[in-house]
Amino acid sequence: MKTSLLAFCAAALAASAPMASVAQNFPTKPMTIVVPASPGGAIDLAARLIGQKLTDAWGQPVVIDNKTGATGIIGTDFVAKAAPDGHVLALVASSHAINPSMVKKLPFDTLKSFEPVIQTHVVPLMLVVSNTLPVKSVMELKAYGLAHPGKLSFASSGSGGAPHFSGELFKSMAGIDMVHIPYKGSTLAHPDVISGRVSLMFDTVAAINVQVKAGTVRALAVTTAKRASVAPDVPTMIEAGMPGYETSTWGGLLAPAGTPKAVVAKLNAEVNKILLMPDVRQRLLDAGIEPGGGTPQQFTDFIGTEMVKWAKVAKDAGISPE
């Protein structure tokens, strides 16, 4: 018995040695972080900051590759089919967890095709209303919606994103009727909210806060559980009278399924360190982005929770995958 146990331990050590060696030598060549969106957004900024710091730490170049299209599906699919060695990663947004509710046949499995590495950041959304709307709080907006069914409309940066689904969630929880008006990007919606052609919108704090500060729209709440650092005077939706309401757009790194756990762990440890660096934190916070962090398992669980939440929102809104 003792001999067989020793033999088993020796075999286990021999099997784990190559994995440890792979992680120790990683990366062995230039890396790529695929951003499945156009340059300039939160996931693009996070990828560039993290990529530069990984180069500084490990001495290998990190290329940022913006592969746009199909609400992130094209770029994410590229990574799903990449070699599972950790040298090609995706920095996905919250649309990764919403897409299963919007697209009937994805070219990958949202969970099984990837090894989640780390949640890199959270971007609070802000509920803003037109100054032409006679409401100054979330409860007043709810009351107005109940008293004027069908009169409210909400803009979004496009169908299927977190801003769109945040509006649908509010509509469902408040029990009011609102018409969704999607735009090709949130900034195109701003003039119509300012003028009152559209009643309200949920937008990232980073994108809308300049209008709030200028007084051209009225901020009622932010959608995260904590107040946004760039808008500390604006209450959360929960504080404003909507218990259980919490949404955001977020970002996180994924590796292809089958990437060695030791490589995922090494990536996770390094990116956690990067997200604690004062210069990185400041760049993110200045852009209205809250730095993330945590373990691969925490990010895996978070994606699963998000998928369930957004599937319910889609069902309640009568949205079927196409």
Compute the distance between CA of residue 92 and CA of residue 90 in angstroms, rounded to an integer.
Answer: 6
Position 1 scores a pLDDT of 47
Position 296 scores a pLDDT of 98
Other C-beta atoms within 10 Å of 322: how many?
8
What is the pTM (predicted TM-score) of this model? 0.86
SS3 content of the chain, % helix, strand, coil (to 5): 45, 20, 35
Q: Which domains does the chain have, with CATH numbers?
A: 29-123+248-316 (3.40.190.150), 125-222 (3.40.190.10)
Compute the distance between CA of residue 122 and CA of residue 227 in angstroms, rounded to an integer.
Answer: 12
Q: DSSP letter at 229?
A: T
Which residues face 119 on adjacent strands? 252
Position 38 scores a pLDDT of 84
Q: What's the pLDDT tens digit per position in 242-287?
A: 999 999 999 999 999 999 999 999 999 999 999 999 999 999 999 8
pLDDT at 319 over 90: no
Can you tell me the mean pLDDT for 58-81?
93
Compute the distance between CA of residue 130 and CA of residue 255 in angstroms, rounded to an integer.
Answer: 42
Share of the chain above pLDDT 70, in %: 93
Determine which of 94-103, 137-146, 216-225 has the lowest per-residue pLDDT on average. Answer: 94-103
Residue 318's pLDDT band (cuts 50, 70, 90): confident
Compute the distance between CA of residue 226 and CA of residue 36 in angstroms, rounded to an integer.
Answer: 28
* Sole residue written with tokens 């709440």: 221
Nearest to 122 by CA among 252, 281, 294: 252
Give the strand order in the sheet containing 88-93. 62-66, 31-35, 88-93, 249-256, 114-123, 290-291
| Cα distances (angstroms) measured from residue 320 to each of 43, 265, 268 | 27, 37, 35
Q: Return all residues near 244 (Cβ < 8 A) that are at least 6 apart.
A: 173, 238
Determine which of 31-35, 84-88, 295-299, 318-322 has the lowest per-residue pLDDT on average. Answer: 318-322
Compute the distance between CA of residue 110 and CA of residue 90 in angstroms, rounded to an integer.
Answer: 12
pLDDT at 43 over 70: yes
pLDDT at 23 over 90: no
